[in-house]
Amino acid sequence: MLSWLIRKRPTKEQLSSTGYVAPARSQDLLNTSRRQQLLENIWHRASMSRQQFKLLYQGPLER
């Protein structure tokens, strides 16, 4: 039930030589279907146009 709270262990490819998780690009993180659904959901609940949403919400996330 609370499986989304459990932190997943990083794979060998994600770990750097010092043992830290290497950062992923924002596009790679945002391109999952779940995150696309969440962004769409936020946009539907925000009272602004799609262009404004992209400028104010998605723009900073995609940096």
Residue-wise pLDDT for 10-62, tens only, equals 676 666 667 677 778 888 888 989 999 999 999 999 989 999 999 999 889 88
Q: With contact defined as beta carbons under 8 Å apart, do 26 and 59 qualify?
A: no
Q: With contact defined as beta carbons under 8 Å apart, do 31 and 37 qualify?
A: no
Tokens of 23: 């950062």
The pLDDT value recorded for residue 9 is: 75
